[in-house]
Amino acid sequence: MSPPSKALPPHLETRLRGLKQVEREQRRRASAVKNRALLQLAEAVQQASEQILAANREDIASLKAETTAAFRDRLTLSPERIAGMITSLNQVAALPDPVGEIVEDRILKNGLRLQRVRAPLGMLFMIFEARPNVILEAFSLAFKAGNVILLRGSSESLATSHEIYKVMDAALGQQALSPSPFFGLEDYDRKLVDALLHRSDLIDVVIPRGGDKLIQMVQKTATMPVIKNDRGLCHAYIDATANLDMALKIVVNGKTQRPGVCNALETVLVHAAIAEQFLPRLFAATDAFSLQWHVDAASHAILKDFARVDLAKPEHWDCEYLDLILNCAVVSGIDQALAHIDRHGSRHSEVIVTANAASAQLFLDEVDAAAVYWNASTRFTDGFALGLGAELGISTQKLHVRGPVGLQELTCPRWIIQGTGQIRD
Amino acid sequence: MSPPSKALPPHLETRLRGLKQVEREQRRRASAVKNRALLQLAEAVQQASEQILAANREDIASLKAETTAAFRDRLTLSPERIAGMITSLNQVAALPDPVGEIVEDRILKNGLRLQRVRAPLGMLFMIFEARPNVILEAFSLAFKAGNVILLRGSSESLATSHEIYKVMDAALGQQALSPSPFFGLEDYDRKLVDALLHRSDLIDVVIPRGGDKLIQMVQKTATMPVIKNDRGLCHAYIDATANLDMALKIVVNGKTQRPGVCNALETVLVHAAIAEQFLPRLFAATDAFSLQWHVDAASHAILKDFARVDLAKPEHWDCEYLDLILNCAVVSGIDQALAHIDRHGSRHSEVIVTANAASAQLFLDEVDAAAVYWNASTRFTDGFALGLGAELGISTQKLHVRGPVGLQELTCPRWIIQGTGQIRD
């Protein structure tokens, strides 16, 4: 309804208006049609896996020498990662269709029948950096939930993205889903992104997936709603009554199993009563990973003779390292732990390890995060692990969805109201 | 977590940080405490009604001569409107508390127990124009749903707002809810609003209630999520098989019962087969209201001898009049009606009047609006009428909530995950 506020090149304007038209069909597409298309797409990806890997090698070869290992890793596809993409497509096909789900159904005294029925969000716009595997994850979830999606990757993965888009177009075309219910934007001019972020007349929701800078830019610029996949600065609080073997497992898993992801741990807070016992054991358990430690004075007094342990600077407590670096502080008890998390946490995932149910309950109640754990690894905050099938990221905002963005979160209920001529008095 | 990007005056910064502290207590406040406070507040408003009305007369007296009647009406309080505010407070107290509601509870194969539990959104910021009665509606819903709220009205209602804030502070203080879980901003400098809209470190959600300009400004400026209460450009489609008496009732109610609200009708689309019969009857039924008609050529051919009927200009189909003006077009059938609504509708409320169940189903499925009606007045799209108790506006965006924003919509589920030491493989 609102007039376009920034101009797009005419061919792109036409393409997006076409996608908006497809949205009307996509909204009501039968589950069987959608599922068949996803299975077909899984097969097509299987058949094209060599070409996709070759394109990916091209992208990797074009990387600048100074590219970080973490970025290189996120960009790299392997036969295993392609197998993961295929599994995910098959899983999404097998999930129940959220569109049309009746979430409420009641009859008012005046005879009006009220239903709230899940409907697609409409046109999604995902902006992502590196990780070409998110293309299929994002498309499959958006598509199954009845949406159309505009995808815009970063130029570092342009060959890989191009190959994947080609496979998608061909497979969807074979299912008579042409024009495609997605559009992969391959013009990497940043001005286009800026213009698109002003098009709330076309785009219903924007989902940025990438670093702080991207997310802040989208938050500042977008005139349509944003589902924010922000940073994860996750803490483990090891209480005085914690089973220390369990605590070790949970911290080691949270920090080392995949340090580059948002549900990895950055900071461990240890109750003073067990710090002397726990910290040397934690050091030993992580020694093989050559962790760098940034610690408070009390932890330093305990760990000072160990290698790679230095005093934390104030800014360290706010750092999402995404790397083999761990902050550590000794706290006097749960209140201090809660205050630390309230001040430094990013509302993503937080865990208490304790045998004391009252402390656990206090922690679960008080910590304001998308996912709060008692005696389990924060690494479970993810669509697969929580049984949502797949995810389009982890939301740390509080509107619409907290935590993994799955199929259901790509819909919203609307009201269907049936009467026999009722009017308002 | 993100650093403040625009400076606020120190006293306001302190006040808001204080409110953010109150948020932690408010989040977990017991239902009984919240309900008692709302009932107490209802009594306090009753006792202070003379002072509130006097302050309101002051505001009305200060209005410029050129103020529109609609604006004057929105600003004006009466004993009846105050009684409505009191009823609303009592109703919100009686509604179930959404905080802590378990919306999902399951156990994974690995033994993890997953729960999704409703939690408050945090700190809300409502910017409103005129209508001082929204202060108590907004506060009561925000408060009952465990949130704190920052309120900023327009300078035209400053005396009324001041009086209401005073009553609220005193009543909440008596319930030992001091410092108050709300803050009424009485410095009407617009620069403050701009600065506040950049404070996503403090404010979780902003809710603008007012005209197009306000909403566009907020959408452009806010770096935090917005719940948009946008315009309502609602249509009634009168199908060939409609019961014409019912259709008359629904259109007359939708257009004339309260033309200044967003769920009022702006446009009626009439099937060609019944237009000659229906339109003169509709004119007669609305004659007492002296409607202005903007009509297409086919309607004009039927209505040309009637007063106050002129040919519509193209822009009329996109006008939310909020006044006794009606657009009217003759359509060849439901497809043309759907296309018209898709092009000109604002995704608010749309109705079909028909005796044909298949047409009704098509309309309910195809129309992409927050509320879609079959044989009932669009005037029901409102929190009271749909049994939500009260509302904080009607959302026409698709994220988080479509339609009335009630108690539940001022919360969002978070994940509570309990384990016995599970880690991720």
Concatenated DSSP letters for A325-363? EEEEEEESSHHHHHHHHHHH--SSEEEEE-S-HHHHHHH
Nearest-CB residue to B399 (from A114, A380, A400): A400
In a domain, A85, yes or no: yes
Give B302's pLDDT tier (boundaries 50, 70, 90).
very high
Mean pLDDT for B293-301 is 98
Residue A389 has a pLDDT of: 75
One domain for residues B173 and B26: yes
A340 and B CB contact within 8 Å: no
| Distance (Å, whole) CA A199 – CA B399 | 16
Chain A residue at shortest CA distance from B413: A402
- B225 and B238 assigned to the same domain: no
Q: Answer whether residue B20 is part of any domain.
A: yes
pLDDT exceeds cutoff 60 at A226 = yes
> Is the pLDDT score of B261 beyond 90?
no
Give the lowest-confidence range in B105-109, B136-140, B259-263, B322-326: B259-263
What is the crossing angle of helices A31-47 and A49-61, to 10°? 60
**Cβ count within 10 A of residue A425:** 8
Check if B419 contacts A (Cβ < 8 Å): yes
Distances (CA, A) of B146 to A307, B119, B135, B377: 47, 8, 17, 33
Q: Does the pLDDT value for residue B4 go beyond 50?
A: no
User: What is the structure's pLDDT at A4?
Assistant: 43
Reported confidence tier of residue A354, pLDDT bands at 50, 70, 90: very high
Task: Look up residue A235 and give its two tokens.
Answer: 């803490």
**CB proximity A249 to B under 8 Å:** yes
Q: Kindly state the greatest CA–CA separation across chain A.
A: 81
CA distances from A224 to A207, A405, B414 (A): 10, 18, 24
For residues A358-376, give the mean pLDDT: 97
What is the pLDDT of chain A when averaged over all its residues? 94
Could you tell me how far CA B389 lies from the centroid of its own chain? 13
**CATH number, domain with residue B79:** 3.40.605.10
pLDDT for the residue A380: 97
Interface contact B5, partner A, CB < 8 A: no
**pLDDT at residue A7 in the model:** 84
In three-state secondary structure terms, B187 is coil
Cis, bond preceding B225 (omega within 30 deg of 0) = no
More confident call, B8 vs A389: B8
User: In degrees rounded to 5, what are phi and psi of residue A145?
Assistant: -85, 10
ipTM: 0.93
Q: In chain B, pLDDT over 90 holds for what percent of residues?
A: 88
> For residue A281, what is the enclosing H or E element?
helix A272-286
pLDDT greater than 50 at residue B198: yes
Distance in angstroms (rounded) separating the CA atoms of residues B270 and B274: 7
* pLDDT 10s digits, A280-328: 999 999 999 999 999 999 999 999 999 999 999 999 999 999 899 999 9
The answer to whether residue A355 is domain-embedded is yes
**Residue A385 belongs to some domain of the structure:** no
Does a structural domain hold residue B260?
yes
Put simply, the answer to whether B379 touches A253 (Cβ < 8 Å) is no
Place of tokens 């404070």: B199
- Inspect the interface and report whether the beta carbons of A112 and B374 lie closer than 8 Å: no
B5 — pLDDT class (breaks 50, 70, 90): low
pLDDT value of residue A73:
87
Q: How far apart are CA A5 and CA A16, in angstroms?
A: 15
Q: Are residues A241 and A175 in the same domain?
A: no
Looking at chain B from residue 377 to 396, which residues have their Cβ under 8 Å from any Cβ of chain A?
A: 377, 379-381, 385-387
A5 falls in which pLDDT band (50, 70, 90)? low
| B412 part of contact set with chain A, CB < 8 Å | yes
Q: A215: nearest CA in chain B?
A: B223
First to last CA, chain A: 31
Instruction: Summarize the confidence of residues B4-22 as an average pLDDT.
Output: 88
DSSP percent split of chain A into helix, strand, coil, nearest 5? 45, 20, 35
Asked if the model's pLDDT at residue B243 lies above 50, the reply is yes
- The pLDDT of A31-39, averaged and rounded, is 97
Same domain assignment for residues A242 and A225: no
Q: Name the burial class of residue B113, with classes exposed (0-12), middle (13-18) and buried (19+) by CB atoms within 10 angstroms of its CB.
A: middle
Residues B321, B299: Cα–Cα separation, whole Å: 19
pLDDT on residue B388: 84
More confidently predicted of A32 and B384: A32
Same domain, A330 and A397: no
The Cα–Cα gap between B392 and B181 comes to: 17
Comparing CB atoms, the residue among B223, B399, B423 nearest residue A250 is B423
Any CB–CB contact under 8 A between B113 and chain A? no
How many domains does the structure of chain B reveal?
2
- Beta-bridged to residue B117, according to DSSP, are B102, B414
Per-residue CA distances from B395 to A207, A413, B208, B228, B382 (Å): 20, 12, 10, 5, 10
Query: Has residue B372 been placed in a domain?
Result: yes
Contact B380 A417 (CB under 8 A): yes
Structure tokens given for B108: 């994974």
Q: How far apart are CA A29 and CA A142, in angstroms?
A: 13
Same domain membership, residue B287 and residue B160: no
pLDDT score recorded for residue A1: 42
Same domain? B242 vs B193:
no
Specify the pairing of strand A325-331 against strand A292-295: parallel
Q: Are residues B259 and B218 in the same domain?
A: no
Mean pLDDT of A104-126: 97
Examine the domain organization and report whether B140 and B90 are in the same domain. yes
CA distance A404 to A381: 7
pLDDT over 70 percentage in chain A: 99
Residues B325 and B273 in one domain: yes
pLDDT value at residue B6:
73
What percent of chain B lies above the pLDDT cut of 70? 99
Quote the tokens at residue B72. Answer: 């004057």
Where does the pLDDT of residue B87 fall: very low under 50, low under 70, confident under 90, or very high at 90 and above?
very high
Instruction: Report pLDDT for B3.
Output: 44
Residues B16 and B156 occupy one common structural domain:
yes
B364 & B407 share domain = no
Nearby residues of A218 by Cβ (< 8 Å), 6 or more positions away = A127, A197, A206, A208, A226, A228
Residues 265-304 of chain B with CB under 8 A from chain A are none
Token pair 């610029």 is at which residue? A221
With vertex at residue B266, the alpha carbon angle to CA B262 and CA B270, rounded to the nearest 5 degrees, is 140
Asked if residue B386 belongs to a domain, the reply is no
B425 in any annotated domain? no
- Domain range for residue A404? 10-229+392-418
Q: Is the pLDDT of residue A277 over 70?
A: yes
Whichever domain contains B273, its CATH number is 3.40.309.10
